[in-house]
Structure 1
Amino acid sequence: MLSVQGESLVGRLVNVTGDHEVVEGAVAGEASIKGQVVGWAPEEQHCMVRSFGGALLRVQSASLAEMEEEFDVLWPEGDNLRLLGKEVAECLAKKMHCLVQTFASYEVGSQAMEMARKRLGWRRFPKELEPSYLGQNAQGKILWLPADDPRREVRSPLESCDRLLSKLASGLYVECQDTLSFLPDGRSDALLWLPPKSQKEEEANLRQQERLGEEHVRDGQIEGHIDFVQSRKVCALYQVAGSANVVLHSAEGVPVHVALRRGQVLLFRHDLSTFSHEGSKDSFAMLTWIFSTGYAAEVQQLAGIIGKEADVASGVISGPLSPVNPLTGKTVSVMSADCMLAGNGVSPEEYWQMLVMGTDGCRHLSPVRWDPEAYFEPDKDIAFGKYYSNHGGFVVEEYILGFDAAFFGFTDEQASMLDPIQRNTLEVGYSTLLKAGWNRKRLGSANIGVYIGNCGTDWSGMKPIIPSELPSVSAEMMAFRLSAMSAHSTSTRLSYTFGMTGPISTSDTACSSSLVATGEAHNAIRQLDPGQKNITSSSGNTEHALAIGTNGLLGPFSWIGLCGPKMLSAKGRCFTFDYGADGFGRGEGTSGIFMQVTHEEPTERLAIFCGTNINQDGRSASMTAPHGPSQQECIRASLREANVTPADIRVAELHGTGTALGDPIEVGALRGVMKDRKVPIMKTSAKSNLAHGEANAGMAGLVKCVLMLNHHSVSPNVHFYCLNPHVDMNGYPCQISGELLDLGSNTGYAGVSSFGFGGTNARADIWAKAQTGFRKVRQVDLNMIENVTVRCPKCLGSMEWKSSDAVPSRLPKPTGQGRRLAHCVRESDNYDFCSHCYDGSYLFGQPTPEDPMPAGTAYIKGSWTAFSEFEEMKVEEGAFTFQVRLGETRLERFYIAMQKKEEQAIFPWHASGARGVRVKGPCAWETGHYFVVDGRDDEWPEGSLVKIKAWVEQRLNERKVSWEMLREEGGPREMPSFSHSYQVVGSLTQMKLIPMKAVRGLRNVFEYTTRLGLQSLETFHFMRDYDRTQVIYPARHLPRSSTVPVRGPDAGGTESFFAISGRQGDRLLLRLEVSDAHVTVSASQSSGTRTWHSQEGRMRKRFFVAGSSWDRRIAMDQDADHPDRYFAQVMVVSRTCAEEFQILLDEDPNRAIFPEAPRSTSGGSMVMGPESGKSDKKFLITGYPGTTFEICLDLQSENKWKTVTWRKLAEEAPKAIAF
């Protein structure tokens, strides 16, 4: 009997036990029909019931009985897919499987099975692959259906069943990222699965079943199978007809039994569990899988494919390969560019169109700027105190004078006073930054250097303050006027407006100003060798820089000054290289580039900075006369830095002002450097289009070079009709063209020169790929690269991208046959870890072993002797062993070498060197890769005797290195005898390493005495054994309190310093004591002594969550039972429903934990750090505003993908979020 009657029955699940009338569809004839009450008719006192077989029944309430739920989710009324997806996702998150009851028609299911039986092409999977799709001990045959198009009308029962799976998948897509922590990437085609009709048919199917062979390796079938296994996340098993018993096996080992009836869909996490399916004789099932390939999309960057490998993989068949610093593996890349130039070149795209068409961007002076009547005299010979040239490269006035004051935070009154080139710099600068991915929000406190070339304008003369108006001008506006009209405020204005904290510089070297600024920016962020320090700011190393050139023609006074010595062309143009060169035309505009240090091959990169140089003529013929030898040396120096030969340069963007004296000298200087070549160099100059942009000239030429290489074309020179007779081209392979030329290659080098009339010369050389047109390089094709590797998330060693086969220490010689395809199939379907970490068996193939260990003696070198000598290891039971006592820091590092040869070193694959990291070698030692014995975490006291053991496992010839403390009765019997040294460095020592003196009679106590200098604040930290990876520093930079703990020695504190203040000349005594890993730092002066102490044990680390929208950094709580786990709760507050974050050790951005792939979801990428965090690599949480998540940091996670995870907490009452 039912507990309720009447209208309250609607929505109830019921069994139909008595008489009923079929209104729609058909029933299967079971003794008990199950369904849901969907309506109530009070007049007739009967219910409308929708059966699970799709029929609509009219039933008296007396013929109904309550039904117990035998499923997890009921298909919602009206196909509410959003609700369906939410309920299924929550169920999957809770117990990894979900049984969905549908209302699919049994009749349609039977018809679908009959249609399926009539289809051709049924087969079985190869024996080794079948369990990955159909589970263990599967029987029957399979057939793939064509892809379902949800926009197409259903035309058959089989398509109706496939469409049901499409609806279910689309509802689940929305919830995957938030609830299941993966990004969905569509679903597979439907797989039909029919059992055999008889044992005889099953035996026939088995006889026809394939076995894997080498042909399956060659045709990529094994690799396709591994792709499937690595991408599948959720399997949807739809029992269309018949029934089945399904058993799910998870990692916990507790099997889950599910009775699957027709019309039901079982969804389960196929990436976390396996299954078996035993169907009835009339069983007919349909399967599909929801995929996630988020990590594979990042493989180009994550696999470390940079430089030449990336060029080959992207189809570079002509032209030089990309230059990468062989020592650092880094490049300085041009990530974006923007401009506001004459000829309507108000963007790089418009600029290129103007160049391609050979446009003359010069025009007549507009009277909007000033009244020319009082200043213009067309006769050059009598134009005393006036100008005779009234044409120039003018930017359209609406761009020069138009300005969105409110966006940049100015009042209309302030904007009217602001120098237009300051306005243009703000506009072009922000546009350039925005194209590189830096919006206004990200720019706040961003460590970006700003370098501007600016010679000033006539603006102050055009905006004088009339004495009679002085009383009406506020003091605030008078102060603003000083900065609004000064050239030096331009870079300051840009950084201040957007809150950037990097270094700034303004260059005024006349015509070479912008290229000088570019050279300064390049020098500030590049590194020529790994140990070189970057230019630093208060935010640490600068790896991003914005370089801008700007110039404005805003008044007549500078025109008059240049016309006096007859420097300007009467026609107001630059006739570069031409017989009619009579001086230069003036131009204006603003252009800029954004550059950054890149560690990978960014797809957004426009070009690579190869070399820059700046020099001075010195005392030449006159201060304004060009000096050929100095120009040559500037060009040669840039090429030396770029490590390219002059013959590699295909395009030369010349200064080319169009003067009778300057052009021949510049061409001669370039000839002296570039003449030995087989392919002609193409010479061009943007000044022929734009006139002489003065402070912006070099930057306009640099942007033009980037555009030419990106379009594999050289734009024509304008106004070139007859070669200047003073330009000597005899025997010099050179081409000056008046039409568009094809560069003839996929890549190329271009150089731009800029020479100031005061004698300051600047040069920049760049490399770029063609990004459009018929020579355009394609996206990286990984099949072109023989070894595509990623890191194993367990042992951190390299493994092949697809097969997860561990890469041997010494790679085999390239075969030139493209990428090595996957050749092994694992029994357990687990390809997360490399073959060294996988302990299961193989169904096909065997992984590549390491080479046999060479014979010889092993030697060890460690920090216990400051890496001063190799020491011989003993041989015990087939292993090399060595015993050492822990020093005062209880932290030791070492590596091993056969026969004392560093090219036969044994060391960890990853620089962390912790336990569990795979061992590499014997091969060439990689700088900084040490095994690390950390007695602090294991509570091993100073002087503990540690035994180091190295041996070879028989399986795969795997190298192993381990260490353990040997227990001594009563504790350590002796202390290490080696005396380590300590040094102090900071502003106190002018950043030089100064050795500290050991205090006589005290062990491991050191002192340094000095006097305070002129600065009110002096900084310092310490270094052990002159080793930059053993720094002792405060947990917080410039600590105000002595409660801030001491950290180190490690490599994380290079940017953190202690601080002390006092009177000039005051005596200062620094004292450092290191005992049993406890570090005490004291600073004594006349005003008193400040002392800092370290913290010991696993409680010494503090982590903070630094997010994009949270106004403060959130401290993480340490788990008392598991001290290597930390938790923090955060709330989504952004209107974008997304929060980006990194985890900082001690709130220090230089010790950040971040994902290898930008915007990684929970467990969606390898976790890096603590190290200097890349600002573009952050974790991404998505959810509605007010949703709370718990972030977990597990430092001992076996899988480094799972080091940082998060989960959504149970929803409470909605919270009001203020925007």
Structure 2
Amino acid sequence: MSCRLPMAPDPESFWTLLRDGRNAITDVPEDRWQTVEPAADAGVRRGGFLDGIGEFDAGFFGISPREAAAMDPQQRLVLELAWEALEDGGIVPARLRESRTSVFVGTLRDDYESLVHRQGAAAITQHTMTGVNRGIIANRVSYYLGLRGPSLTVDAAQSSSLVAVHLACESLRSGESSLAIAAGVNLNILGEGAVAGERFGGLSPDGVAYTFDARANGFVRGEGGAVVVLKPLARAVADGDRVYGVIRGSAVNNDGATAGLTVPSREAQRLVLHEAYTKAGVSPDDVQYVELHGTGTPVGDPVEAAALGEALGRGRGTADPVLVGSAKTNVGHLEGAAGIVGLLKALLSIRHRRIPASLNFETPNPAIPLDDLGLSVVRELRDWPHPERRLLAGVSSFGMGGTNCHVVLAEAPEVLAGNGTAPGEPASVSCAVVPWVVSGRGEEALRAQAARLRSAAVVRDADPRDVSWSLLTTRTRFQTSAVVLGEDRDTLLTGLDALTTGRPSPHVITGTAANNGRLAYLFTGQGAQRNGMGRELYEHSPTFRTALNNTCDALDPHLPHPLRDIMFAPHNTTKGNLLHQTHYTQPALFALETALYHLLTHHGLKPDYLAGHSIGELTAAHLAG
């Protein structure tokens, strides 16, 4: 997953914002909304805003400056977040090329198109049509990554992004997609959007979201984006993925004919909840928490509460209510991206096994009898109820035109509760010197990556070997590269400091990879043997151990003593001294080199050439077939 939200540029900082009970609502930045009068109500002037929405590393994506300027910033943001989400999932984007990976993006705004057309015909270029088309938001990701699955932008008003998640899940279940990228994005570039919300009667005049509270008087606008990467659970288990949560089921419907186009239907919302939990095979009594649509409007909140109470809360009483809350009290209502923000909050709450407070709640709305409905608003950071059970949550999102969506989440199976490990090899392989590989598109990008890696390593206090594994196996390798070497965490961090500032260091190796470089393995001959060679790898690497065992088993019938015992015997012992006799030296080197070859190829190093000297020449011939 990845996100860019007000005061939260990534999921970890979003969780910190939620955990600490802070809100990111501020006055509109000075460089926005020049058409809105400074004396406008707080509801128009306040919201959750991103910094630097015009910033974009066009060169990273191979986009010219002219085309980048013509692109809706929503396109740019989703491109960046899709890349970050794949990295977070341990997926090298290049490996998805030509795959049936799908992209579903929920959004409803086209502020940038309006801004461009204000400039008149002179501002229209060859890139304008693709730059401002909302469908291209999803298509741009598919194009850049070379994805062959469905690719579409979803506009279901405020429920767009959660509907995008639902469609992504259905595409995976049907086999239409092998992997799915689901996203939501919303940027409030023009002030007219805020004015429209005010005149519609939906905005909170004081710029505060009072979800389910007696003071509820409207929503507060927010902006940003989020992306999740989805795959079938069985495949995630097989791939050893880190899994934030499991989508058990989801449902979408519409209000139909109500008292007005934007008047919500309690019955339709109840039905979408019932259908989602039926599909998920989850009893309503087992649901512990629901992330509300929760806009804080005097009309919408009571309808949502009544539907939720009928579907999940009736009969539960005050002893075991359904806990509810809304991220809109923290970052505002992201409209087309609101649903996926709620999904991220629920997933992070499951991941951390804590439920953050829903802000600005003091006295229940008189039209929402919480006790009778079996509901309880979370007022402070707390543990999950019944933590001994599998954690279960729901996420709701409703569009003003009546399109309702609900997603049912569960915590991941225990086997997936850790950080994830590539199949067949542990994350922590013991070795004296650990390499941290960093790369970027140019020197400036390389230094920036080093700085980000250092910051993340300090915050997460991760095992240096686990970091090394992830950098080697789950990151794209760009042409400008560096390797930071160290025997401990402090040495590695010192090396990153040097790389970040461009200072020389004995712990840092930098260089530029050749575009068409080829890889050769050279196997040595007699004289390179040493007592104990391969023993540590044998103890820690299943791949190496299997390959060495297979080779030794084939050679042992031809030797007076088992070869592995001779290789691992200590120096200056009877068995250890045998290693230096030719009839043990050469089979031992052959076995070691064969096992090393299989270990390296397991990790993706495929040689173009094999060569060797003496017994190494026989090893090369054997491995070449």
Task: Give the TM bin, normalised by the shorter chain.
Answer: 0.5 to 0.7
Cα separation, 1, equivalents of 2:295 and 2:603:
54
For residue 337 of structure 2, the aligned residue among 671, 682, 696 is 696
Task: Write the deviation string for residues 1185-1213 of structure 1: whole angstroms up to 9, x where unpaired.
Answer: 54249xxxxxxxxxxxxxxxx9743899x
For residue 611 of structure 1, the aligned residue among 249, 254, 264 is 249
Q: Is there any run of 5+ residues in structure 1 with no aligned partner, and where? A: 1-336, 381-387, 527-533, 537-541, 781-789, 791-1107, 1110-1131, 1139-1157, 1166-1177, 1190-1205, 1213-1219
For residue 757 of structure 1, the aligned residue among 390, 400, 404 is 400
Q: Is 1:391 paired with 2:46?
A: yes
Letter in 1 for 2:150: P
Question: For residues 300-311 of structure 1, what are the structure 2 equivalents within 5 Å?
Answer: none
Letter in 2 for 1:623: L
For residue 356 of structure 1, the aligned residue among 13, 19, 24 is 19
For residue 609 of structure 2, the aligned residue among 1173, 1182, 1187 is 1187
Task: Write the deviation string for residues 1099-1150 of structure 1: whole angstroms up to 9, x where unpaired.
Answer: xxxxxxxxx99xxxxxxxxxxxxxxxxxxxxxx9767889xxxxxxxxxxxx
Aligned to 2:40: 378
Aligned to 1:560: 195
Cα separation, 2, equivalents of 1:523 and 1:1184:
37
Question: For residues 486-565 of structure 1, what are the structure 2 equivalents within 5 Å?
Answer: 486-526=133-173, 534-536=174-176, 542-565=177-200
Question: For residues 534-933 of structure 1, what are the structure 2 equivalents within 5 Å?
Answer: 534-536=174-176, 542-599=177-234, 601=237, 602-674=240-312, 675-677=314-316, 679-744=320-385, 745=387, 747-769=390-412
Change (3 A) 1:647 1:1160: same
Superposed displacement of residue 735, structure 1: 2.0
Do the aligned partners of 1:1134 and 1:1185 also contact (CA within 8 Å) in 2?
Answer: no
Do the aligned partners of 1:587 and 1:691 also contact (CA within 8 Å) in 2?
Answer: yes
Do the aligned partners of 1:525 and 1:596 also contact (CA within 8 Å) in 2?
Answer: yes
Q: TM-score, normalising length from structure 1?
A: 0.35
Letter in 2 for 1:393: G
Cα separation, 2, equivalents of 1:709 and 1:589:
22
Task: Write the deviation string for residues 159-201 of structure 1: whole angstroms up to 9, x where unpaired.
Answer: xxxxxxxxxxxxxxxxxxxxxxxxxxxxxxxxxxxxxxxxxxx
Do the aligned partners of 1:457 and 1:553 also contact (CA within 8 Å) in 2?
Answer: no
Cα separation, 1, equivalents of 2:137 and 2:619:
47
Superposed displacement of residue 709, structure 1: 0.8
Do the aligned partners of 1:587 and 1:690 also contact (CA within 8 Å) in 2?
Answer: yes
Change (3 A) 1:683 1:450: same
Aligned to 1:441: 94
Letter in 1 for 2:354: S
Letter in 1 for 2:16: Q
Letter in 2 for 1:595: L
Aligned to 1:1104: none
Question: For residues 81-92 of structure 1, what are the structure 2 equivalents within 5 Å?
Answer: none
Superposed displacement of residue 454, structure 1: 1.1
Cα separation, 1, equivalents of 2:140 and 2:419:
39
Letter in 2 for 1:515: L
Superposed displacement of residue 457, structure 1: 2.8
Question: For residues 306-385 of structure 1, what are the structure 2 equivalents within 5 Å?
Answer: 337-342=1-6, 344-372=7-35, 374-378=36-40
RMSD after superposition:
3.3
Aligned to 1:426: 79
Aligned to 2:457: none
Letter in 1 for 2:83: Y
Cα separation, 1, equivalents of 2:178 and 2:219:
37
Q: Which has the higher contact order (CA 8 A, sep 6+)?
A: 2
Superposed displacement of residue 359, structure 1: 0.8
Cα separation, 2, equivalents of 1:607 and 1:412:
39
Change (3 A) 1:725 1:1137: farther
Task: Write the deviation string for residues 67-105 of structure 1: whole angstroms up to 9, x where unpaired.
Answer: xxxxxxxxxxxxxxxxxxxxxxxxxxxxxxxxxxxxxxx
Letter in 1 for 2:189: L
Cα separation, 2, equivalents of 1:565 and 1:340:
28
Do the aligned partners of 2:158 and 2:397 also contact (CA within 8 Å) in 1?
Answer: yes
Q: Is there any run of 5+ residues in structure 2 with no aligned partner, and where? A: 425-475, 478-514, 522-540, 549-599, 612-617
Aligned to 1:1002: none
Superposed displacement of residue 376, structure 1: 4.8
Superposed displacement of residue 605, structure 1: 1.4
Question: For residues 211-222 of structure 1, what are the structure 2 equivalents within 5 Å?
Answer: none
Aligned to 1:485: 132
Q: TM-score, normalising length from structure 2?
A: 0.66
3-state SS, counterpart of residue 394 of structure 2: strand
Aligned to 1:156: none
Do the aligned partners of 2:364 and 2:370 also contact (CA within 8 Å) in 1?
Answer: no
Q: Is 1:454 paired with 2:89?
A: no
Change (3 A) 1:482 1:777: closer
Do the aligned partners of 2:269 and 2:304 also contact (CA within 8 Å) in 1?
Answer: yes
Superposed displacement of residue 770, structure 1: 9.9
Q: Which has the larger radius of gyration?
A: 1
Cα separation, 2, equivalents of 1:1181 and 1:645:
44
Letter in 1 for 2:286: D
Superposed displacement of residue 726, structure 1: 1.2
Cα separation, 2, equivalents of 1:1135 and 1:713:
50
Change (3 A) 1:1136 1:594: farther
Do the aligned partners of 1:573 and 1:586 also contact (CA within 8 Å) in 2?
Answer: no
Aligned to 2:461: none
Higher helix share: 2
Do the aligned partners of 1:585 and 1:692 also contact (CA within 8 Å) in 2?
Answer: yes
The number of aligned residues is 448
3-state SS, counterpart of residue 59 of structure 2: coil
Cα separation, 2, equivalents of 1:724 and 1:711:
30
Aligned to 1:1099: none
Higher strand share: 1
For residue 1209 of structure 1, the aligned residue among 613, 617, 621 is 621
Identity of aligned residues (%): 28
Aligned to 2:439: none
Do the aligned partners of 2:290 and 2:393 also contact (CA within 8 Å) in 1?
Answer: yes
Task: Write the deviation string for residues 435-479 of structure 1: whole angstroms up to 9, x where unpaired.
Answer: 222223213222211111011231122223745736xx7xxxx33
Superposed displacement of residue 619, structure 1: 1.1
3-state SS, counterpart of residue 618 of structure 1: coil
Change (3 A) 1:778 1:460: closer
Cα separation, 1, equivalents of 2:208 and 2:330:
8
3-state SS, counterpart of residue 395 of structure 2: strand
3-state SS, counterpart of residue 279 of structure 2: helix
Do the aligned partners of 1:1137 and 1:1183 also contact (CA within 8 Å) in 2?
Answer: no
Task: Write the deviation string for residues 480-532 of structure 1: whole angstroms up to 9, x where unpaired.
Answer: 21111121110001100111111112110111000101000011112xxxxxx
Cα separation, 1, equivalents of 2:246 and 2:180:
14
Question: For residues 787-1186 of structure 1, what are the structure 2 equivalents within 5 Å?
Answer: 1180=602, 1186=608
Task: Write the deviation string for residues 409-432 of structure 1: whole angstroms up to 9, x where unpaired.
Answer: 111222122111111100111110
For residue 66 of structure 2, the aligned residue among 395, 408, 413 is 413
Do the aligned partners of 2:89 and 2:241 also contact (CA within 8 Å) in 1?
Answer: no
Change (3 A) 1:1162 1:597: farther
3-state SS, counterpart of residue 581 of structure 1: coil
